[in-house]
Amino acid sequence: MILKPVTSEKAVKLIDLDNTILFQVEKNVSRSEIKEEVEKIFLVKVESVRTLIKDNRKRAYVKLKKENPAIDIATKLGMI
């Protein structure tokens, strides 16, 4: 379902300022499925999931709870 993390300048800024990680996901995946998968893979708690379809691609903005810093996951993924 989750295809890859997005490593644009805006995505890195969101990690620092908003504790949010941006993923490219399959188009037919729901928000609850994205939340469950992120929590299962990275062993974190997700606060909210927002989605955006742009240029025929779906992106998921996954905001983590404060006790789980997004910078730790970004470092594991090699984004930073």
Domain ranges of the chain: 2-77
CA distance 51 to 45: 18
Please write the tens of the pLDDT for every residue from 23-80.
Answer: 999 999 999 999 999 999 999 999 999 999 999 999 999 999 999 999 999 999 988 7
pTM of full prediction above 0.85: yes
Backbone angle region of 72, left / alpha / beta, with phi > 0 → left and psi within -120 to 50 → alpha? alpha
* CATH class, range 2-77: alpha beta
